[in-house]
Amino acid sequence: MIVALLAAVLIVAFSNSFGRAEPTGNYRPPLPAAALDTGCYPLPDGVDFDFSFQVRRDGDREREDGIRRELRIQWNLVDLEQASKDVLAAFTDAGFTVISDEERSATVTRADVGEVSWRLTPLDVSPETVVQGWVVFDLPAIARQSDAEECGWPSVTKRFGKDLV
């Protein structure tokens, strides 16, 4: 009995030496780059959002006036008024001219890009909730801008085919 107990104690004491992985405390897989940071389908030059958000969907849509890009993001941690100001500032700081600006939507233009518009939809949640609302952008369609392998991954680009929508 004592020998068995001693053997069990020795096995536990030296178990890390017998091929077990060293605990790192990090059990999450590496995350791919954020959709707008990959260079695959970027925003127009100079447009950089200064608020927390995540891309939920990005893709081209056929409309009566041709093919346009529809980008859907969720904004975090700020109210509708602040989100509206922040989105507008991202475009005007990049040299866009305001065509119209309302509480929940705006349209801007720049000669090398054309018209860009968006509408904001706040969620009916408490101010402590992380995700506070949606922004849907209507942008000119662009071709893939990089040959990187990850540009073909819908989980990275958020460009889901019709079968994944």
Rounded Cα distance between 53 and 39, Å, is: 17
Residue-level pLDDT at 64 = 93
- The percentage of residues in the chain with a pLDDT greater than 70, rounded to a whole number, is 92
Reported pTM: 0.81
Take residue 119 and report the two structure tokens written for it: 């509408």
Nearest to 84 by CA among 121, 124, 47: 121
Please write the tens of the pLDDT for every residue from 103-154.
899 999 999 999 999 999 999 999 999 999 999 999 999 999 999 999 999 9
